[in-house]
């Protein structure tokens, strides 16, 4: 269960990064706006998956810390905003 949630989070994280890469190269307009909305929605999904993972960890005998998932949006500067 925990592993499948972790895998799902990793998949969403990759999707987020891929969208960020596409958004960076797009001119201002409706297409970029839709992609940004999609990217924002992924942050909410990752948030819920992390909550599920925290709950699963708390149920186990030896609960592990669930690290925050970093989702950088400004790839080219290399800084997290």
Partner 1 sequence: MAAHDHLVVLSPALTMGAATLTLDGTSATLQHSCDLVEDTVWGDTFKQRLVSLQDYQASFEALIDYTDNELDEDLDSLMGTTFAFAFRPTSSATATTNPEYQFTGGISSLQKAFQLGQIAKVSGAVMLTSGTLVRDVTP
Residue of 60, 70, 61, 69 whose CA lies nearest to 2? 60
12 contacts partner 1 (rule: CB under 8 A)? no
60 contacts partner 1 (rule: CB under 8 A)? no
Nearer to partner 1, 2 or 36 (CB): 36
Number of residues forming the site for partner 1 (CB under 8 A): 25
Query: Going by C-beta distance under 8 Å and a sequence separation of 6 or more, which residues neighbour residue 8?
Result: 49
Torsion angle, CA of 76/78/80/81, rounded to 10 degrees? Answer: -40
d(CA 18, CA 24): 10
Q: Which of 3, 25, 61, 65 binds partner 1 (CB under 8 A)?
A: 65
Nearer to partner 1, 43 or 60 (CB): 43
Strands (E), the chain: none
Q: Which residues bind partner 1 (CB under 8 A)?
A: 20, 23, 28, 33, 36-41, 43-44, 46-48, 50-51, 54, 65-68, 71, 73, 81
């Amino acid at each position: 269960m925990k592993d499948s949630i972790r895998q799902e989070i990793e998949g969403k994280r990759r999707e987020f990064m891929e969208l960020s890469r596409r958004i960076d190269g797009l001119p201002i307009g409706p297409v970029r706006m839709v992609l940004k909305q999609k990217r924002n929605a992924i942050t909410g999904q990752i948030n819920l998956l992390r909550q599920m993972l925290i709950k699963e960890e708390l149920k186990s005998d030896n609960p592990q810390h669930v690290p925050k998932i970093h989702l950088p949006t400004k790839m080219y500067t290399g800084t997290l905003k």
